[in-house]
Amino acid sequence: MLNKDMSCEHYRYLKKIKRRKQIITITQVSIFVLTLILWEIAARMKLIDTFLTSSPSDIWNMFLHMAKNGNLAYHVGISIFENIVGFTVGTILGVIIAIGLWWSDFWAKVLEPYLVVLNTLPKTALAPIIIIWIGTGYSGIIVTAVVTSIVITIMNMFNSFISADENKIKLLKTFGASKLQIFTKLVFPQSIPAMVSTLKVNIGLSWIGVIVGEFLVSRAGIGYLLVYGGQVFQFDLIMMSLFILTIISVLMYKLVSIIENKFINWHQ
């Protein structure tokens, strides 16, 4: 971008834009750091009750303690496993069902009201039933995670499938394309961006399913740590679990974004 012929005015313009960006980043980081510092100071000066709020240093110590004895990796590992299986299965199954609905206009029309009703229902309300039916191990939790993400996947993907350009379908028909070819050459590829954004949403939804499932039954996982921390009134543990949960879900979201940018160079 650097150009020797750049005018002074243009240089100042670029500098101004860059400066603004820096200030925004600095402010963002400062808010976070300041909150932690104030929290720590307030805790040390006994302005707040650490029994109800914990403090950054206690959370950090709890983290070190649990990281050392291996408990942390164990619980986090289980939750991540349940989450990944949950959103992968939810997304794949949802896409397959959406393909079926696209294929059969009749069934799409018949099932539409059911999907709308299921979509408005908070899926976590089904968790107790699922756990009774499927069992209290990982499987029940994973199915809860699948159920939270599958309905929205079906709806998003189906809507994306049917939004394929009518004229492009007509074009393919003039080439003599079969319905399967229309799907594989046009409808599916044009829905890949929608699929990636659904995947992003599903990571979050699947976490809801996993945590609720773990609240209800599990003996392991981040949800279990949260519930256990609450029962024994150990706020260090609760806060640490929350931090870990946030960091993991942000990392997973970022990962999908990176994949998205890599593979979809034609989009935009």
Residues in touch with another protein (CB under 8 A)? 165, 167-168, 170-177, 181, 185-186, 189-190, 192, 265-267
Residue number with CB closer to another protein (32 or 175): 175
Closest CB 120 distance from another protein, rounded Å: 30
Under DSSP, the state recorded for 126 is G
Decide: 40 and 55 in contact? Cβ < 8 Å: yes
Kindly state the smallest distance separating residue 195's Cβ from another protein, in Å: 13
CB of 201 to another protein, least distance (A): 22
DSSP three-state, residue 5: coil
Nearer to another protein, 87 or 188 (CB): 188
44's CB contacts (< 8 A; 6+ apart) are: 55
Nearest approach, Cβ of 188 to another protein (angstroms)?
Answer: 11
Give min distance, CB of 182 to another protein, in A.
Answer: 9
Distance CA 81, CA 100 (A): 28
Least gap, CB of 265 to another protein (angstroms): 8
Closer residue to another protein (CB): 164 or 210: 164
* Structure tokens belonging to residue 61: 């110590």
User: In terms of Cα–Cα distance, which of 208, 248, 243 is closest to 54?
Assistant: 243
Query: Which residue number, 174 or 231, has a Cβ lying nearer to another protein?
Result: 174
Tokens 């003996």 belong to which residue? 219
* Minimum separation from the CB atom of position 96 to another protein (A): 22
Of 15 and 267, which CB lies nearer to another protein in the complex structure? Answer: 267
Comparison of 7 and 268: residue with beta carbon closer to another protein: 268
Supply the DSSP string of 103-115, one letter for each residue. H-HHHHHHHHHHH
| 184-210: b (≥16 Cβ within 10 Å) or e | eebbbebbebebbebbebbbebbbbbb
Q: In angstroms, what is the minimal distance from the CB of 47 to another protein?
A: 57
Integer angstrom CA distances of residue 222 from 75, 135, 211, 246: 6, 19, 7, 11
CA end-to-end span of the chain: 22
Q: Given the complex with another protein, which of 21 and 267 has the nearer CB atom?
A: 267
Nearer to another protein, 92 or 171 (CB): 171
| Closest of 161, 159, 162 to residue 116, by C-alpha | 159
**For the chain, give me the number of helices (H) and strands (E)?**
13, 0
Structure tokens given for 15:
């500098």
